[in-house]
Structure 1
Amino acid sequence: MVQLTNFVYAITAASIIGAVTAHPGSHDGASAAELARRSNFIASSKRSLAGCASKMKARGFEEKAIARRAALAESIRAKRSIQGGRQYLKARDLATVLATDHASDLEGVTLNTDYSTLFSGNVSCVLQPEVTQGPYYVDGELVRQDIRETQGGVDLYADVQIVDVATCEPVPNLYLDWWHANATGVYSGIVASGNGDSSDATNIDNSFLRGVQPTDEDGVAQFLTVFPGHYTSRATHVHILGHLNPTVLANNTISGGTVSHVGQVFFDQELISTVETTSPYSTNTQELTANADDQILSEEAADMDPFMEYVLLGDSVSDGILAWISIGIDTSASYSVSSAATWTEHGGVANSNSGAGGMGGGSAPSGTGAPGGGMTAPTGAPPS
């Protein structure tokens, strides 16, 4: 097991476009009112963030990010005994989203290329429009960094920095939920049609590729996971959800607090295509939806760029990927979310109102609330 020590603190331009939900049959086009609300949201967020870039640079964010990204990359490569490596840079073109393939525009990168070139970038941060959590959200997940368990796939070292859009300052002590499908397009903890073998009731008790991490003083949470797999009708993505002021329970889960952010992050199509040629991704028989064909992405792709920056740690994706993103949020916001299930030390418990189905042998741990009521905020609902 690879243990991560030197956290990377990444600041890049990033945002999430509006969405309805995230699974088959649940992402119809947005209404005119919803689209108008999103447009106003984007316009106001751009204005409020106009001064953030200069403030963040003046406070030394860029220098700190470069140094820590480099330290983490070298630490991982050393522990994985990876030789070479630095020339295999992949970088986003921040000027566009789907109009380009997001391949590196750097020429002549070698082992001697300075890290300030490899890891520097726009230090601005774009407020991330809220999206619903999707039908496969499970509350009660463990606070842990390594969420792979026994899942196969390409190791992904993910760094997410959360910034307060009102102050341009990092947000410490925010507990970030992170979850996604495995290499063959299946979510743990959910028994439902469209999520793998719906006759396999044991999946309700699984917890792979789900976890929670608190942000540190620099607003950074980090996860060691595997690159997400695809499933029918959606481009490859990861769900995130931020909790402010929750209580950490004795069983290493969280309860209560306020849900201040709900979103998704995405990956370059070229990277997805490369990963999909490797095992076990290549055994996935579900239809692969390209970024350009994803309804959620396509609605406002001209204005938003919700992709993670990344570098390959070695000669191929099989050596692992280091990816990072910075997200601006409104810390005064409060959203109400409902879970499809709750994970407990004895297994999963489905929320009977979620439509996800399945019931494990567990019962909700003390302090986490009812299966469908854990981790809820008292007011509001995120725009869809």
Structure 2
Amino acid sequence: MVRISTTLLVATAAIVALASRDSVSAHGGQPAHARSPERLEQRRLFMAEGKRSLKDCANSEASRRLQQRAVARRAAKADSIRAERRQRRRLDVDTVVSTSHKSNLTGLTNETDASELFGDEVKCILEPEVTQGPYYVNGELVRSDVREDQEGVDLYAEVQIIDVNTCEPVEGLYVDFWHCNATGVYSGIVASGNGDSSDATNVDKTFLRGLTPTDEDGVASYTSIFPGHYTSRATHIHLIGTYNGTLLENNTYSGGYASHVGQLFFDQDLISEVEATAPYSTNTQELTTNADDSILSEEAAEDFDPFL
């Protein structure tokens, strides 16, 4: 991941290893902390098998083709972002010290060849079932840029979906992507604890929400801002993968079946750096760290890394 001034480019954001559809389902209303021993055993078996399958895929011809295309795709994206930043005359020439989830590369600059940045093998496997949270809204717009008028650190992210049964990318899966804004407010929701609960107009707002289908490489790309925080939760992004739905004339997506419900997180030092800037620094809600987040503590397990 490369940070360019007030921009974050997330490379190899996540690989969602899809099991058979029978073994992957959406959140059914059961609290995350109340999983039965049987459910926990299913989770353990899925993670073990998924990790083995993903490792097998890494040496396949399909994986090599995907990796070559990923380098080219991300290089083009990096060039596009650099050009945009130069045009806006805000390009930062400082290098960024890598952290464990950003990169283990050193000596990077804004002009580093993209193949050096994006040539790593995929390493992340996501758990098949995580709570979607109370602020999910269906029927959102199909789009990749969800920023609208929201201020914050620009975030460019991509999620790649691989079927570990075939080692092939999953094309045409609609990935729903949503999170709160820099001050901890979700659009489309009027509720206590979500900003000004007396502001009824928020129910009609759509910022920082959207769906986009995966392409032939199984990739869904997004342009957003780095999420803020709200009381009791660490900084995170929600994802839902849906198939067999209908794209409506008003450019929204309806129906279908959820094959993955997940959440993505960020390194704490990166969160701290972003939170020190405006408008994040104006957020008066209590900041919950990754170490104190109940959902993250359940998700984190051996060979399971939900961090961008």
One-letter amino acid matched to 1:53: A
Q: Which residue of 2 aligns with 1:241?
A: 240
Query: How has the CA–CA distance of structure 1 residues 111 and 254 changed in structure 2, closer, same or farther, with 3 Å as cutoff?
Result: closer
Q: Which residue of 2 aligns with 1:307?
A: 307
| Identical pairs, percent | 61
1:72 aligns with 2:77: yes
Question: Per-residue deviation at 1:107?
Answer: 3.0
Q: Report the TM-score when normalising by structure 2.
A: 0.82
Q: What is the rounded CA distance, in whole Å, between the counterparts of 2:33 and 2:242 in structure 1?
A: 28
1:171 aligns with 2:170: yes
CA contact (8 A) 1:14 1:306 kept: no
Query: How has the CA–CA distance of structure 1 residues 56 and 132 changed in structure 2, closer, same or farther, with 3 Å as cutoff?
Result: farther
SS in 1 for 2:223: strand
Q: Which runs of 5+ in 1 are unaligned?
A: 1-7, 94-101, 309-384
CA contact (8 A) 2:152 2:182 kept: yes
Q: Which residue of 1 aligns with 2:68?
A: 63
Q: Which residue of 2 aligns with 1:198?
A: 197
Question: Per-residue deviation at 1:154?
Answer: 1.0
SS in 2 for 1:35: helix
SS in 2 for 1:221: strand
Q: Report the TM-score when normalising by structure 1.
A: 0.67
Question: Per-residue deviation at 1:129?
Answer: 2.3
Question: Per-residue deviation at 1:128?
Answer: 3.3
Query: How has the CA–CA distance of structure 1 residues 246 and 13 changed in structure 2, closer, same or farther, with 3 Å as cutoff?
Result: closer
Query: How has the CA–CA distance of structure 1 residues 185 and 13 changed in structure 2, closer, same or farther, with 3 Å as cutoff?
Result: closer
Q: Which runs of 5+ in 2 are unaligned?
A: 1-8, 18-25
SS in 2 for 1:195: coil
Question: Per-residue deviation at 1:84?
Answer: 5.6
- Superposition pairs of residues 360-371 of structure 1, within 5 angstroms: none
What's the RMSD between the two structures over aligned residues? 2.7
SS in 2 for 1:262: strand
Q: What is the rounded CA distance, in whole Å, between the counterparts of 2:108 and 2:275 in structure 1?
A: 25
Q: Which residue of 2 aligns with 1:377?
A: none
**Which of 81, 90, 96 is the aligned partner of 1:88?**
96
One-letter amino acid matched to 1:73: A
Question: Per-residue deviation at 1:248?
Answer: 1.0
Q: Which residue of 1 aligns with 2:184?
A: 185
Runs of 4 or more, structure 1, over 6 Å off, are none
SS in 1 for 2:147: coil
Which deviates more, 162-171 or 294-303? 294-303
Q: Which residue of 2 aligns with 1:35?
A: 40
SS in 1 for 2:60: helix
CA contact (8 A) 1:147 1:211 kept: yes
Deviations 1:37-73 (A, max 9, x none): 3222212222333311111675322222222212211
Q: What is the rounded CA distance, in whole Å, between the counterparts of 1:125 and 1:56 in structure 2?
A: 19
Question: Per-residue deviation at 1:299?
Answer: 2.7
Q: What is the rounded CA distance, in whole Å, between the counterparts of 2:35 and 2:226 in structure 1?
A: 29
Q: Which residue of 1 aligns with 2:273?
A: 274
